[in-house]
Structure 1
Amino acid sequence: MAPRTQPTERQRRIGAELRKLRLAAGLSGDQAAALIDADRQRVSHIESGRVDVPRNGLYNLLRSYGCAEGPLFEALMAMANNRGKGWWDEYRDVMRRPALDLAELESRASRIRNHELLVVPGMLQTADYARAVCETFDGPDADIDRYVQFRMGRQRILEQRPGTPYHAVIQEGALRTRVGSPEIMRRQLRRLIEIARLPHVTLQVFPFEAGPYSGVSRSFSIYSGPTPALDTVRLEQPVASVVLHDEEQTSKYAKLFAKLSELALPPVDPEAKPESHEGRDSLTFIQHLMYAS
């Protein structure tokens, strides 16, 4: 089988982890090739995600690289067995590879932490709000319905039972920026309160008054894997997103998110009675914006 030209993020991640383990074990590409009865070029293709490694071959590589059976070993074996098929496949005609990779990454995550700077996170958007956002994209108007359907499809990981634990820290500016009509904004703010009722969703607002902080200058998401070694950070950029795998970098972003959460207003608690709000929290903040819009 010819090497694929556009490996998925999952395929690239498996290859990157194998390369990291091989180098840590002090083995050359030729030595790795001998372990799976292949040539050095095939090992290179495997490490770039361009070809798959058979289950037996992967098992031999992991054992030979000194990866003991445990969370990382089992997770890599599971990732290799998972062919990446999912609901997102039906959108290949309109969505680019990074968007499809994002949906697959979200579906695999054991926990998602999201800091959003400019707009309400896609995972929390109403269909009308999502449509207003998608109308700003370059592309055929006929595709907008499909874009919106895709974005709504991503939300199923929150709606299923049990849902994926999700924690969002949203900058005040994202909630004040009008997207669509005032009524669309009111419904979107109401949606934030409603979805925060889910036991696995934590929602916080980072107000202007909290002051400047290094983390507020960029939107990012952290997708937890079955082991910290497989955590992924996705940085939003104007042209293309950047994906980080290095454990030291993902750890830094985890600490950054923890600090943002500490500085943000207390989480939305829709079940709390009005008299229990001794100070401003995320719920009262969103309610104020909803009634003022």
Structure 2
Amino acid sequence: MPPRTRPTERQRRLGLELRKLRNRTGLSGDQAGSLLDADRTRISNIEAGRVDVARNRLYMLLRRYGCPHGPLFEELMAMAQETGRGWWGDFRDVVAPVGRDLAELEARSAGIRVHEPLFVPGLLQTADYARAVIAESEQDEHRVERFVEFRMARQRILAGVVTYRAIVHEAALHVQIGGPKVMRRQLLRLIEAARQPNVTVQVFPFEAGSYSSFSRSFGIFGGSVPELDTVHLEHPMDSVFLRDGDHIEEYAKMFERLSGLALPAVDPESTPESHESRDSLSLIQHVMYRM
């Protein structure tokens, strides 16, 4: 089978981790290839995610690369076994590969941290809100509905064990996407989502100070081991996945700084009279009732 031209994010990540391990041991591509009775081109294709590596051969490489038995070893073995065939494949007609990569990454994550400055995060959107957002850039009604279905399907992971933390700027609460009725339902959805024990929602208020260094939308996806954490940056024309440890640490610190400056998390079980100070719930309710 010829090398694939468009590896998935999972395939690229597996290859990247193998290259890191090989470089750490000081082995050349030729030396690694000899372990598989192959040439360095084969190793290069494996490390680029363009070809798969059989389970027994991956086991051999990991042992030779000095990767100890443990969570990382097992997760790399599992990544190689995954087919990538999930529900997201049903949306190939409208969703670009990078969007399907994101859905697969979400499905594999143990924890997700998201910061959104202008919109309600996709995993917390109502169908009407998502429809209004998507319709801004897509005119075909059928495609709009397919995109909405895709976004709603992504939200199923919140019913599982994944931990989800979202920091939303107050500006996103005021921008009336779809009109007042749609926004009221969307704000109520934020409160309802926060009732789930695995979901945390914080609002970054206008008065919290300078926001210029935090203006970028980003998501941090935690793997089963820290070495496999990934940062996702969304851009109008494309998305970027960051896999370097330094970048991930930088965004993790940024998220915690945002969390420290944001209002206390939504606690939908608290009573109004218990709010001794301003919190995310009271701000969301204030915006909602003024619409």
- The two structures have a TM-score, normalised by structure 2, of 0.98
Count of aligned residue pairs for this structure pair: 291
In 2: Cα distance, 1:175 partner to 1:79 partner: 38
Provide, for residues 53-78 of structure 1, a one-character-per-residue CA deviation record: whole Å limited to 9, x for no partner.
00011111111111111111111001
Write the deviation string for residues 16-53 of structure 1: whole angstroms up to 9, x where unpaired. 11111111110111011011111211111101100000
In 1, Cα distance between equivalents of 2:187 and 2:124: 10
Tell me, in whole angstroms, the C-alpha distance in 2 between the residues paired with 1:207 and 1:249: 26
Q: 1:257 corresponds to which residue? A: 255
**Aligned counterparts of 1:37 and 1:128: Cα–Cα separation in 2:** 56
- Identify the residue that residue 188 of structure 2 maps to in structure 1: 190
- Aligned residue for 1:289? 287
Q: Supply the AA of the counterpart residue of 2:4.
A: R
Paired letter, 2:201: L
Q: Which amino acid aligns with 1:123?
A: L
Q: What runs of 5+ residues in structure 1 fail to find an aligned partner?
A: none
Question: Given the alignment, which residue of 241, 244, 252 partners 2:242?
Answer: 244
1:151-188: per-residue Cα shift (whole Å, max 9, x none)? 0000000024xx31100000111111111111000000
Return the offset for 1:138.
3.8
Q: Distance in 2 between matches of 1:184 and 1:238?
A: 23
- d(CA) in 1 for partners of 2:139, 2:18: 38
Deviation at 1:215, TM superposition (A): 4.3
What do you get for the CA RMSD once the two structures are aligned?
Answer: 1.0
| 2:176 paired residue number | 178
Cα displacement string for residues 187-233 of structure 1 (whole angstroms, at most 9, x for unaligned residues): 00000000100000000000110011454210100000111110000
Structure 1: how far apart are the matches of 2:139 and 2:80?
Answer: 34
Q: Which amino acid aligns with 1:206?
A: F
Shift of 1:238: 2.5
Percent of counterpart pairs with the same letter? 61
1:233 paired with 2:231, answer yes
Corresponding position: 1:206 with 2:204: yes
* Between 212-221 and 91-100, the greater mean CA deviation after superposition: 212-221
- Give the secondary structure class of the aligned counterpart of 1:234: strand
In 2, the alpha carbon distance for the partners of 1:93 and 1:11 equals 22
Q: 1:87 corresponds to which residue?
A: 87
The aligned counterpart of 1:71 is 71
Over residues 216-268 of structure 1, what are the superposed CA-to-partner deviations in whole Å (9 max), with x where a residue is unaligned? 21010000011111000011222211111111211111111111101100000
The equivalent residue for 1:167 is: 165
Residue pair 1:215, 1:256 contacting (<8 A) in 2 also: no
Give the TM-score normalised by structure 1. 0.97
Note the C-alpha offset of 1:140.
3.0
TM-fit CA distance, 1:83: 1.0
- Letter paired with 1:256: M
Partner SS for 1:155: helix
User: Retained in 2: the 8 A contact 1:33–1:39?
Assistant: yes
Query: Which position in structure 1 is the counterpart of 2:37?
Result: 37
What runs of 5+ residues in structure 2 fail to find an aligned partner? none
Give me the whole-angstrom Cα distance separating, in 2, the residues matched to 1:152 and 1:284: 27
In the alignment, is the contact (CA less than 8 A) between 2:187 and 2:288 conserved in 1?
yes
Match of 1:146 in 2: 146
CA distance in 1, matches of 2:95, 2:156: 18
Answer yes or no: is the 8 Å Cα contact 2:214–2:254 preserved in 1: no
